[in-house]
Amino acid sequence: MDLQKEQGEVRVENQEGLNEQDELTPPQSAIYYAERNNLVPTDEDGYRGKIYRAQGFEGPLSLDELKARTAIFLRETRERQNLSQLEVASLLGITAQVWGRYERAVSSLEVTRMIVLCEQLGCNPVELVGHVAPHLFGSSKEGADVRIELARRLSELPDEVCISLLDMVKQIEKLNKQVPRR
């Protein structure tokens, strides 16, 4: 048994003697964490245990829906760059057949390959994640759309402008904290 001290708590890692069902049942501390962070248990095809997910303004999207949205983003981004599946695949060091599986939501891109793809196609990772999981950017579709658009526009500005904007945002936050709430 390996003990690890983290944030003032003692956690037990690599618990020996647990059967598979025990490992799939979250410990009470994980359930408390999920409750504090408004995560809800979901059932997913191909998974034995529950996956705790954010509700979001669309409800918790299935992993298949997230994969389908990723596929749409990949295809649309590739088409905006006027590239064929073969061209994108060759830039990524994979076959067109493998790339086709990504665009058909049969397979999922690894995060590292997704980063390389963003570099190659000039897409902003915030746009990608925003397209797939907009609930991560706001409590409503409108709020998420605004934040994603802001992030896209910020990524196109020169560094010195972003530095000035961040200073302005910090000042706004400071003033906002000083205003009494009604």
Q: Which of 112, 142, 137, 141 is nearest to 126 (CA)?
A: 137
Domain region containing 114 = 62-182
Distance CA(59)–CA(36), nearest Å, equals: 17
Q: What is the pLDDT of residues 97-148, one digit of tens each?
A: 999 999 999 999 899 999 999 999 988 899 999 999 999 999 999 999 999 9
What is the number of domains present in the chain? 2
pTM score = 0.78
CB 2 within 8 A of CB 14: yes
CATH number at residue 141: 1.10.260.40
Same domain, 50 and 66: no
In a domain, 166, yes or no: yes
Q: What is the pLDDT of residues 28-73, one digit of tens each?
A: 999 999 999 999 999 988 888 889 999 889 989 899 999 999 999 9
List Cβ neighbours of 106 (8 Å cut-off, separation of 6 or more).
Answer: none
